[in-house]
Amino acid sequence: MRSPLILMALLLAGLSAPAQILIKNVLIPDTEQKKLLTGYSVLVQDGIIQRVDKDKNFKALPPGTTVLDAGGNYLVPGFTDAHVHFFQSGGLYARPDAIDLRKYRPYAEEISWTQSHMANLLRRYLSAGITSVIDVGASENFLKLKDSLSRKSGLPLVRMTGPLLTTWVPAPFKNLGANSPFTEMLTEEDTRKSVRDQLALHTDFIKIWYIVTGNDIEAGARKNLPLVKAAIEEAHKNNKRVAVHATERITAQLAVEAGADFLVHSVDDEVLSDSFVQLLKSRKTVLCPTLVVAGNYGKVLGDTYHFNTHELNLAHPATIGSIIDYPWPDTALARMYKASLSSPLQKARQKGTDSIMALNLMKLVNGGVIIATGTDAGNTGTQHASSYFSELEAMQAAGMNLWQLLESSTINGARALGQEAEWGSIAKNKKANLLLLEANPLDSLANWRKIHRVMLNGELLDPDTLLQPGPEELVQQQLNAYNAHNLEAFLEPYAADVELYEFPGKLLMKGKENMRKDYLFITRIPALYCKLQNRLVQGNMVIDHEEVWGFGPKPVYAVAIYIIEKGKISKVYFHQ
């Protein structure tokens, strides 16, 4: 229940973003001291935290100061996703090196989509309480886009590398020019020059893709090591930290010994030794486990991925739709993947890999290594924004407690970039990127989603208003939920007083609650699937030509006309 004082403060905040805000009567989980601070007040001025005091009676506040009595709600730092890729959409077409569908969707079209939707994806992160995202592998064009978006208000903090420095470039990513996410390391001098070239692009840090080909992993790792060392030395010389993709123990060890600051994946080929754990702790190397991304490829291409309500409501509908439509567009290719990924051997391999990563995570946590929460979002099946909570659940299942998860999801992301003095916790002189939660985040992960307000750069925002999906997004969102057989997600885009008609004007039904009763069938017909044949968008109207399976041996063909008003689907006209 929102108190009148909170509502009044938010009304004032909505009229104009005040230079100064006082948040009174909050509980603050102090991740560094592992204790809950009760009865505190936080003073924010011009987007920076000025004071954090207990039971302080502030007097003579400047005119225009917004005073928000939080009523004992919980104030936490905004969450950080420490591993994303904006050059990847999360959809079926994101990685042509994994499944090549470029004849159905040219890769240039895929890249263009991700660039034009980066701001949209960032708002989705923010609505989930993620106020900072770290892109650990981008391109020249995405660095320019990041600089452009950084001048806009209402978007999370973004930190980004340039193209990944690597000794191997997958064929689909060659000859992409300024859109290339890779730069090949050929010689030590070329590698150093590549690092210097990224400095001019305002890269925030450097990323190495430490890939070894061939059967002798250690020999390959040591062969590439001089190039890795050259990149790290040149980056550090220019005061840039270095993130490294290294999933084998030997590549991770050599990278850390060479000075890597941030390992962006788990080691998944062997159980870590105590000496390895001590190496990371002594070097203060941050590690991001990314537990779910590899398995998501198997689920998507094996056609076993099932989106939950949270994902269907939060992730971008276009990328979710591409995955739900699988095995389209190439059913023959999909059959090959499904057969391979459903084999007992492949399932056993994935289970073994998952077990190793979970075991290694807890060895690192118990050994005092800094762990940062990150998703590798953008890879096929790992959605921007919504995958964050799947990753948290996997980390918790591995054994991390809520205190550890909160630290990993806030200050440790900043530590990965050496920016913990600037953001990531609630302390004087840090950025006021905060979340006001309605329930204790130390009781359950579910409470992390109960976000009352987001504070971004000192401005109070209602998370429910951050996403303003357009007509096509709303229609695709309900179509995805229909095909996912998820009634609650299906109803979400509809207005409470929605009207359904038989074209041209016969009223069939009115109200979302009546829809809830009449559309129960979508949860009860396993073969139900609506394949979009064509779509026309005209202003606030979307016209879909549909092929619907599940009501007999043959499909039903229909036209659905959706009218969108005030951000919801208000009317639907059906014609067969």
User: What gap in Å lies between CA 94 and CA 234, rounded to an integer?
Assistant: 31
Look over the chain and give the mean of its residue pLDDT values, rounded to a whole number: 95
Give the rounded distance of the alpha carbon of 489 from its chain centre. Answer: 19
**119-143 average pLDDT score:** 98
54-59 LR contacts (CB < 8 Å, sep 24+): 58/22
CA neighbor of 249 nearest in space, from 357, 150, 165, 171? 357
Give the rounded distance of the alpha carbon of 390 from its chain centre. Answer: 10
**268-276 average pLDDT score:** 98
Provide the residue ranges of all domains of the chain, joining segments of one domain with +: 4-78+424-466, 79-416, 471-575
Q: What is the pLDDT of residue 228?
A: 98
For 4-49, the pLDDT digits (tens) are: 444 444 433 443 455 899 999 999 999 888 899 999 999 999 999 9
Q: What is the pLDDT of residue 64?
A: 84
- Strand pairing partners for 548? 530, 556
Under 8 Å between Cβ of 40 and 26: yes
Q: How confident is the model at residue 63 (pLDDT cuts 50, 70, 90)?
A: confident
Give the rounded distance of the alpha carbon of 255 from its chain centre. Answer: 26
- Strand pairing partners for 117? none
Fold of the domain spanning 4-78+424-466: Urease, subunit C; domain 1 (2.30.40)
Q: 59 pLDDT exceeds 80?
A: no
The upper half-sphere exposure of residue 81, i.e. CA atoms within 13 Å in the direction of its Cβ, equals 34
- Is the domain 471-575 a CATH 3.10.450.50 member? yes
Under 8 Å between Cβ of 434 and 77: yes
User: What gap in Å lies between CA 566 and CA 496, rounded to an integer?
Assistant: 12
For 345-372, the pLDDT digits (tens) are: 999 999 999 999 999 999 999 999 999 9
Under 8 Å between Cβ of 570 and 545: no
Cis peptide before 504 (omega within 30 of 0): yes
Cis peptide before 327 (omega within 30 of 0): yes
The string of DSSP letters for 456-511 reads ETTEEE-HHHH----HHHHHHHHHHHHHTT-HHHHHTTEEEEEEEEETTTEEEEES
Under 8 Å between Cβ of 129 and 439: no
Q: Which residues contact 500 (CB under 8 A, 6 or more apart)?
A: 507, 508, 509, 510, 515, 571, 572, 574
Place of tokens 């939950």: 308
Amino acid at 394: A
E strand or H helix that includes residue 69: strand 66-69
Q: How far apart are the first and last CA of the chain?
A: 46
Fold of the domain spanning 79-416: TIM Barrel (3.20.20)
Q: What is the pLDDT of residue 3?
A: 44
Question: Is this model's pTM higher than 0.75 or not?
Answer: yes
User: What gap in Å lies between CA 403 and CA 36, rounded to an integer?
Assistant: 10
Under 8 Å between Cβ of 110 and 399: no
For 434-485, the pLDDT digits (tens) are: 999 999 999 999 999 999 999 999 999 999 999 999 999 999 999 999 999 9
User: What gap in Å lies between CA 330 and CA 302, rounded to an integer?
Assistant: 13
For 394-432, the pLDDT digits (tens) are: 999 999 999 999 999 999 999 999 999 999 999 999 999
